[in-house]
């Protein structure tokens, strides 16, 4: 094949074998294990800007960006300075520090529908807490989520979840008693009548609807026109809480997330990824009358030893300040470059006779190996994941690092260059030639 396999892998393989003896699968998050694309997972030694280097000194253009957070690229000097500055004063106090309100101010300025925000340590904690809060507020039990949407690994949300669960081809998770998911209704995405039906069937019993306003966790799948508006109208009418899970889309598809992009006001918003500047942070927020139910003001309990950690807050502040100050430059640029990349690769596929459907919203995108439109989990799951795996390996061998799963969105950041994009399109031409054979 045209893709010559010169990439060294000995060191990554050795490190993987060592880790496998001690850590399940050698990884601390399943999709890192390359299970669905075959081959050896990379051990990353360092990153700078849009590039990363593995333990065998291979260099890659990175379109994973730590699964979304690194919109300013690796080792951004502003973010690094903030972390180092904070670390010199101590890493954690378990008491309030000024930087928590600094980050809160930045988040609230970008999300004007939110009046208060609580910081946690991950997106999982953010959605888990938001669901608990929605139940506390409505005094109802049922929740609606959508097939292929991933909201972290809380028990009640591991039902037809996307991301690694979809990648591994499992419906939920062992260890979650069915009683724990009996109040979770998993409905098809982009289908309002399914939502109407559920609200009719469980009248006055549904606490909330949680949705990824642009799905990233079954690959990138945008909401159809009027779908999010429809969810807003139905939840308003039924007095249920609408939760936008913007862990991925917040500060990604626009500075103010998908709610700014589509001009829709959810009740609660969950965040993570970008707001931590590459450190572990999550957040949930909304109007004061709901958020004031959270302890210590209210009866809904939620806490965290390391929540609001000063290093994480400093990293988040440095990240969000840059995004705020450079928003007029950054968001149009990453949208334009992502468009060039996605269309360039799609054109290469067409020339090679590979059947591909491209989905993109701003700098989130996926090439699905299926000829048909991908609008929900049912259509996404028709993708030829074997062909994706061959494409993935072909790209990797040419120094292009894509998410190691058909069902994960790729990301482009402010540091990617036109040269990166041209190189990637050229690599795709080679990779498609190999896929076809
Ligand atoms: C990544 C993600 C989560 C989970 O966040 P973690 O920090 O991995 O726990 C939740 N929701 C969405 C939409 C995500 O993309």
pLDDT in tens, 297-335: 999 999 999 999 999 999 999 999 999 999 999 999 999
Number of domains in the chain: 2
Q: Are residues 182 and 233 both part of a single domain?
A: yes
Residue 197, in any domain of the structure: yes
Residue 72, in any domain of the structure: no
Q: Which of 275, 307, 325 is the last residue of a domain?
A: 325
245 is catalytic: yes
Residue 206: give the domain boundaries: 77-325
pTM above 0.85, yes or no: yes
Q: Which of 281, 299, 325 is the last residue of a domain?
A: 325
Provide mean pLDDT across the span 51-67: 98
Share of the chain above pLDDT 90, in %: 89
pLDDT (0 to 100) of residue 166: 64
- Cα–Cα distance for residue pair 389/123, rounded to 1 Å: 28
Q: Are residues 111 and 92 both part of a single domain?
A: yes
Among the listed residues 412, 414, 410, the one whose alpha carbon sits nearest the alpha carbon of residue 391: 410
Residue 191: pLDDT band (50, 70, 90) is: very high
Residue 379, in any domain of the structure: yes
Provide mean pLDDT across the span 219-231: 97
364, 248 Cβ separation under 8 angstroms: yes
Q: Are residues 308 and 403 both part of a single domain?
A: no
63, 150, 331, 401: the active-site residue: 150
At 328 the three-state DSSP class reads helix
- Cα–Cα distance for residue pair 389/380, rounded to 1 Å: 15
Share of the chain above pLDDT 70, in %: 96
Residue 217: pLDDT band (50, 70, 90) is: very high
Instruction: Calculate the dihedral angle through the C-alpha atoms of 173, 175, 178, 180, rounding to the nearest 10 degrees.
Output: -100
Q: What is the CATH number of the domain that holds 217?
A: 3.40.640.10
At 206 the three-state DSSP class reads strand
Q: Which residues line ligand 1 (CB under 6 A)?
A: 122-124, 127, 150-152, 212, 216-217, 245, 247-248, 272, 282
Residue 276, in any domain of the structure: yes
Candidate of 273, 312, 316, 407 to mutate for ligand 1, largest count of ligand atoms within 8 Å of Cβ: 273
The one-character DSSP state at 219 is B
At 6 the three-state DSSP class reads coil
377, 218 Cβ separation under 8 angstroms: yes
Residue 273, in any domain of the structure: yes
2 pLDDT higher than 50: no
- Cα–Cα distance for residue pair 377/161, rounded to 1 Å: 10
Q: Are residues 297 and 406 both part of a single domain?
A: no
pLDDT (0 to 100) of residue 179: 87
Q: Are residues 89 and 189 both part of a single domain?
A: yes
CA of 124 to the centre of ligand 1 (A): 6
Measured in Å, how far apart are the chain's first and last C-alpha atoms? 8
Write the DSSP string, 61-84: EESSGGGTT-TT-BT-HHHHHHHH
Candidate of 31, 213, 247 to mutate for ligand 1, largest count of ligand atoms within 8 Å of Cβ: 247
Q: Are residues 404 and 338 both part of a single domain?
A: yes
The DSSP H or E segment spanning 234 is helix 227-238
Q: Are residues 391 and 412 both part of a single domain?
A: yes
Q: Which of 260, 291, 325 is the last residue of a domain?
A: 325
Q: Are residues 279 and 166 both part of a single domain?
A: yes
> Which residues, 6 or more positions from 98, have their beta carbon under 8 angstroms from its beta carbon?
none
Residue 69, in any domain of the structure: no
142 is catalytic: no
**Closest approach atom of ligand 1 to CA 215:** 13
Q: Are residues 52 and 152 both part of a single domain?
A: no
- Cα–Cα distance for residue pair 324/275, rounded to 1 Å: 12
273 is catalytic: yes
Q: Are residues 109 and 231 both part of a single domain?
A: yes
Residue 251, in any domain of the structure: yes
Q: Are residues 89 and 144 both part of a single domain?
A: yes
Residue 105, in any domain of the structure: yes
**Closest approach atom of ligand 1 to CA 124:** 9
4 pLDDT higher than 80: no
Q: What is the CATH number of the domain that holds 418?
A: 3.90.1150.10
């Amino acid at each position: 094949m045209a893709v010559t396999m010169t990439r060294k892998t000995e060191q990554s393989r050795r490190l993987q074998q060592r880790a496998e003896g001690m850590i399940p699968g050698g990884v601390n998050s399943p999709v890192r294990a390359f299970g669905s694309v075959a081959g050896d997972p990379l051990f990353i030694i360092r990153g700078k800007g849009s590039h990363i280097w593995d333990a065998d000194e291979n260099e890659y253009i990175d379109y994973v960006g730590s699964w979304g957070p690194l919109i300013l690229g690796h080792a951004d000097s502003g973010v690094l300075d903030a972390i180092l500055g904070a670390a010199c004063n101590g890493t954690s106090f378990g008491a309030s520090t000024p930087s928590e309100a600094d980050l809160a101010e930045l988040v609230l300025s970008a999300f004007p529908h939110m009046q208060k925000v609580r910081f946690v340590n991950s997106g999982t904690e953010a959605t888990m807490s938001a669901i608990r809060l929605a139940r506390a507020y409505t005094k109802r039990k049922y929740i609606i989520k959508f097939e292929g949407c991933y909201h972290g690994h809380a028990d009640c949300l591991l039902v037809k979840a996307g991301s690694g669960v979809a990648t591994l081809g499992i419906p939920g998770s062992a260890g979650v008693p069915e009683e724990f998911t009996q109040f979770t209704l998993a409905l098809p995405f982009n289908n309002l009548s399914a939502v109407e039906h559920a609200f009719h069937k469980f009248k006055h019993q549904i606490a909330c609807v949680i949705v990824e306003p642009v799905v990233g966790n079954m690959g990138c799948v945008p909401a159809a026109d009027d779908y999010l508006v429809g969810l807003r109208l139905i939840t308003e009418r039924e007095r249920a809480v609408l939760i936008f899970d913007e862990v991925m889309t917040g500060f990604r598809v626009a500075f103010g997330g998908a709610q700014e992009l589509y001009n829709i006001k959810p009740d609660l918003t969950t965040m993570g990824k970008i707001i931590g500047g590459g450190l572990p942070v999550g957040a949930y927020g909304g109007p004061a009358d709901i958020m004031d139910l959270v302890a210590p003001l209210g009866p809904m309990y939620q806490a965290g030893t390391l929540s609001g950690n000063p290093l994480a807050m400093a990293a988040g502040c440095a990240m969000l300040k840059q995004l705020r100050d450079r928003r007029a430059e950054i968001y149009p640029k990453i949208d334009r470059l992502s468009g060039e990349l996605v269309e360039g690769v799609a054109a290469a596929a067409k020339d090679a006779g590979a059947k591909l459907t491209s989905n993109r919203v701003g700098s989130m995108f996926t090439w699905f190996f299926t000829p048909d439109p991908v609008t929900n989990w049912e259509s996404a799951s028709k993708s030829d994941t074997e062909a994706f795996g061959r494409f993935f390996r072909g790209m990797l061998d040419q120094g292009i690092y894509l998410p190691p799963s058909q069902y994960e969105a790729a990301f482009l950041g402010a540091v990617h260059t036109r040269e990166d994009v041209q190189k990637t399109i050229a690599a795709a031409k080679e990779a498609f030639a190999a896929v076809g054979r």
